[in-house]
Chain A
Amino acid sequence: MLGLEKKDATLLLVVIALALAAPILLNPFPTESAMAQFNAGYPDLMQKFAIYGIFAIGFNILFGLTGYLSFGHAAFLGVGSYSAVWMFKLLSMNVIPALVLAVLVSSLFALVIGYISLRRSGIYFSILTLAFAQMSFNLAYSVLTPITNGETGLQLSLDDPRILGISQTADGGIPLTSLFGLAMRDSVAVKLGGWSFEFSVGYYVCAILMLVCFYLAMRIFRSPFGLMLRAVKTNQTRLNYTGLNSRPYTLAAFVISGMYAGLAGGLLAAMDPLAGAERMQWTASGEVVLMTILGGAGTLFGPVLGAGFIKYFENIFSKINDSVLQNWFGFLPDGVENVVLWVVEHFVGPGWHLTLGLLFMLVVIFLPGGLMEGGQRIAGLLRGKRKSGGDGGGDDPEYHPGQTPHVAE
């Protein structure tokens, strides 16, 4: 199917099914139940799953395959958002031109930053990308205010030209982002017994693009080009003495991953048309590294999984506050309750980072192949034998992509 081998085609079908059914699958708890706060099936969060999924899939093409660890990919995310918002201001509220511009501009940025940063490898490469991203952040924050609107961030306004659209709606509002008339914000809510499911246009636009990105990444992984990228990671010396020039390969991977990031940034703006400099900050660059490693660098599905995990924690754990906790632990005797509350409250609400940090450490120490390795081990145990084969890792169960250090030449 679609030029894929059977195993990959199956994986693609599973991912398609998961993505299309996400509004149902992610809302397992009835709306009125106490567990409803763990439901993730609302458009805003699901859009983030898909968008950051795209970001991480692209990042993995660079980091997972070539081993080059970029600490500056948020720059492309930000560039994508700014480009998209400008398109909404100048051209029309249709998301397609906005996304196209986001991808084009971010690919140009990636070409320049990659061309310079890839002159070094290992830690020096990482530092160079970090420096570029911080530079972009600072430019966006101050010097480039006419383009980025500095601290406030770039927003739509009623007097934007929008030459192919309308500056304001009949009732004097800012028009909504849309796809040929279908507003991103439109959605259909379906109630079934105690459950309520919301199917939003915005989510499905993100999900379909994520699936396309996933499919393209799969093709790259299985292609001769992907093989060369993996060869870069394992032995660049041998690659060069085999007549291959590693630089254009790494640059191509860098630009492709920058385009993925730009698309993700454009989608963020398409769902919510504003762009701020903080989107380019180093914390955002670090986040995509965590997503990829947490899910499983070098695997196909891992980055999507990692992105989902982190966004879930960020949005769900961070919402558990004191009153929710009191509700849960109210049955305990007062003294005990206070102790339990004191401990737990550090791990939820604003403390969700702590939980995530611990989870991350556990995964890196015990599952160097990320959550995907965990999944494979469980699948192997269920089948009574250790299943071989991870994505991209050939057929070797000992393949731990996250662990191979990238050695500077």
Chain B
Amino acid sequence: MGILEVKGVNKRFGGLQALGDVNLSVTENSVHAIIGPNGAGKSTLLNCLVGKLIPDTGSVMFNGQSVLGRKPHEINQMGISRVFQTPEIFGDLTVLENVLIPCFARRDGAFSMHAFETVGQERDMLDEAMQMLEDMNMADKRDMHAASMSRGDKRRLEMAMCLVQQPRLLLLDEPTAGMSRADTNNTIELLKQIKGKRDITMAIIEHDMHVVFSLADRITVLAQGSPLVEDTPENIKGHPKVREAYLGESA
């Protein structure tokens, strides 16, 4: 039994079958990559995991509990964090404030009225957020207006916001898109470190094969809404169907 079990998930948008009978099992503390051409339904699949979309049929179990019908914040409190394909950050707030919010969410739950404490006096939370920014090499940007950062930095900030929650399952939707080569390599290093240090499971959607093959324990290839194959990176590399459907066009 994996920590995440997706069974028989279908999702239609009008006439378009975005997901057709998707089955996926992600083993605890592994990195599972989902690859496939644009429009294959990868982001739609993630949307079904975090409560953004409800599948037409099928089940999604996380840690033995169904996520279907739960609100996004409830699913997050169960231990699933997500980095979006287009960065979702708090643009009007500073970088540090962006990282503080998930710290508070983890400590205080979905709602709390800490209206008389001062953010500046929450030493534990500030330390935790600063430590995360340091791990991300972003400590110097702490007072920056988040909206004014580069696209790559916004992604790294969003990743910091997810990681600081210490989720059990981290979903990453093309985390290195828009990043420089150097930042991409840093991100790979960071994710590797985190994987080594903590109990964390990751599902990562990625186009950059270098990233996929550096991190993934298993790979699922999705094409036109259905899983084509699922295997280890070594086997995927040599798989004729995959070369044809996906790697062929990007190589």
Which A residues lie at the B interface, using CB under 8 A? 3-5, 219-220, 222-228, 230-231, 233-235, 237-246, 248-249, 252, 394-396, 398-399, 404
Contacts and interface: CB of A to CB of B under 8 A. Distances in A.
A254 to B, nearest CB: 13
Interface residues of B, number: 44
- Interface residues of A: mostly helix, strand, loop or mixed? helix
Given A241-B50, A395-B94, A225 B143 contact: no
A237 to B, nearest CB: 6
A4 to B, nearest CB: 8
A226 to B, nearest CB: 7
B151 to A, nearest CB: 16
A398 B119 contact: no
B108 to A, nearest CB: 8
The 7 residue pairs across chains A and B that have the minimum distance between CB atoms:
A243-B76, A234-B92, A225-B115, A245-B110, A396-B145, A238-B88, A224-B114
B153 interface: no
Contacts of B125: 224
B143 A395 contact: yes
Contacts of A223: 114-119
B110 A243 contact: yes
B100 A227 contact: yes
Contact of A394 (B97, B100, B106): B97
B208 interface: no
Nearest to A393: B92
B105 A242 contact: yes
Contacts, number: 126
Nearest to B88: A238
Contact of A230 (B92, B102, B120, B122): B92
Nearest to A235: B90
Given A3-B118, A5-B120, A231-B90, A245 B101 contact: no
A224 B117 contact: yes
B241 interface: no
Given A225-B112, A243-B76, 14 more contacts: A223-B116, A224-B117, A224-B119, A224-B122, A227-B97, A235-B91, A237-B88, A238-B88, A241-B50, A242-B105, A244-B110, A245-B111, A246-B73, A398-B145
B76 A241 contact: yes
A51 to B, nearest CB: 23
Contacts of B91: 234-235
B251 interface: no
A252 B101 contact: no
A64 to B, nearest CB: 12
Interface centre among A5, A222, A224, A234 (most CB of B within 10 A): A224
Contact of B73 (A5, A224, A233, A240): A240
Nearest to B92: A234
B4 interface: no
A241 B109 CA distance: 13
A144 to B, nearest CB: 33
A243 B88 contact: no
Interface in B72-101: 72-73, 76-77, 81-82, 84, 88-94, 97, 100-101
17 contacts: A3-B118, A219-B115, A222-B118, A224-B108, A224-B114, A224-B125, A225-B114, A225-B115, A234-B92, A237-B88, A240-B71, A240-B76, A241-B50, A242-B165, A243-B110, A244-B111, A395-B143
A87 B82 CA distance: 53
A245 B71 contact: yes
Contact of B119 (A227, A241, A244, A396): A227
Nearest to A396: B145
Contacts of A239: 73, 90, 101
A233 B71 contact: no
Contacts of A3: 116, 118, 121
